[in-house]
């Protein structure tokens, strides 16, 4: 939202051209690094990460936005894996990892040839869908559910695909796990952490192969990596000290607005 406001100010010539354009990118990338760190530290679940690509897509090419977030996620995954090491459920990982990798492959093929405007609208649509999943997830525990193997396959595929296109792969995966009997919070977070760490690692060579990872631009924002560890530590400190549900809703409002802005792009 801050980047969007600054962009508007720039368009109205409120800010000097050289200062405003640089300031927009600094604020935008700083916000992305902090959001990634907060999410991987356990604050707000996947919602802060879901904000990153829509936010960046308002200012830069959406393909580049998707690719630039990936190294930040990989760096932050190291912290998340440390916190939840070996707290995952192997049975669900065995069920969903291969379909997830297929989803990454399909998503990579889509990213390779899609035009920027269409990609913006897809990112906006997937982000709104992720919001719908998040809102509906609070009622999942009350549903009568009969597990089917293909549900896990589909959830894994959809998560890999959504993660590749717009970093919004968590909702299908989380929904499937939340519907499982005797799924504890620690096992849920640990399983989710490892699954998406594998997805992110797989996406890296895929993005390099199709030429959307701009190394020079990545080096230009190397300072953003320095923001991730303190954001992770801040998230760890705040867990249990603030209202998680309220924080998630505070993240969901700008996500909805950004998604609508992308859908209305022209």
- Domain chopping of the chain, boundaries: 2-263
Predicted local distance difference test score (pLDDT) of residue 58: 83
> What are residue 168's phi and psi, to 5 degrees?
-125, 45
95: number of Cβ within 10 Å: 18
- What pLDDT shows up at residue 102? 97
- pTM equals 0.85
- Alpha-carbon gap, residue 104 to 58, rounded angstroms: 24
Ordered alpha helix ranges (H), the chain: 2-11, 17-40, 47-57, 62-83, 90-113, 116-137, 149-166, 170-178, 185-210, 215-220, 228-238, 244-263
Asked whether the beta carbons of 191 and 43 are under 8 A apart, the reply is no
What is the C-alpha separation between 248 and 47, in angstroms, rounded? 7
Q: What is the pLDDT of residue 59?
A: 84
Mean pLDDT, consecutive 10-residue stretches, the chain (266 aa), reads 42 46 86 94 87 89 93 96 92 94 95 90 88 71 64 91 89 84 85 95 94 91 96 92 83 88 85
Q: How many CB atoms lie within 10 A of CB 208?
A: 12
What is the model's pLDDT at position 22? Answer: 76
> How confident is the model at residue 103, as a pLDDT?
96
- Looking at residue 14, what is its pLDDT? 40
- Integer Cα distance of 29 and 146 in angstroms: 43
Contacts of 136 (CB under 8 A, 6+ apart): 175
Q: Which residue has the tokens 């459920």?
A: 89
Residue 94: its pLDDT value, please? 93
């Amino acid at each position: 939202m801050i980047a969007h406001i600054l962009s508007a100010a720039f368009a109205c010539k409120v800010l000097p051209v050289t200062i405003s354009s640089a300031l927009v990118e600094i604020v935008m990338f700083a916000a992305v690094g902090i959001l990634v760190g907060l999410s991987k530290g356990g604050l707000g679940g996947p919602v802060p990460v879901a904000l990153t690509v829509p936010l960046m897509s308002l200012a830069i090419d959406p393909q580049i936005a998707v690719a630039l977030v990936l190294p930040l996620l990989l760096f932050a995954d190291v912290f998340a894996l440390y916190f939840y090491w070996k707290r995952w459920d192997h049975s669900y990982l065995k069920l969903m990892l291969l379909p997830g990798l297929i989803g990454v492959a399909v998503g990579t093929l889509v990213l390779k040839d899609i035009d920027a405007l269409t990609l913006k609208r897809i990112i906006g649509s997937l982000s709104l869908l992720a919001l719908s999943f998040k809102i509906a997830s609070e009622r999942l525990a009350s549903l009568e559910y009969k597990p089917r193997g293909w549900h896990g396959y589909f959830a894994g595929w959809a998560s890999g695909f959504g993660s590749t296109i717009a970093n919004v792969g968590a909702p299908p995966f989380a929904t499937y796990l939340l519907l499982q009997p005797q799924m504890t919070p620690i096992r849920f977070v640990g399983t989710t952490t490892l699954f998406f760490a594998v997805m992110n690692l797989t996406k890296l060579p895929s993005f390099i192969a199709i030429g959307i990872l701009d190394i020079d631009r990545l080096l230009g924002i190397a300072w953003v990596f320095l923001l991730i560890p303190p954001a992770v530590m801040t998230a760890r400190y705040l867990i249990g000290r603030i209202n998680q549900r309220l924080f998630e809703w505070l993240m969901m409002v700008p996500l909805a607005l950004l998604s609508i802005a992308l859908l209305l792009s022209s």
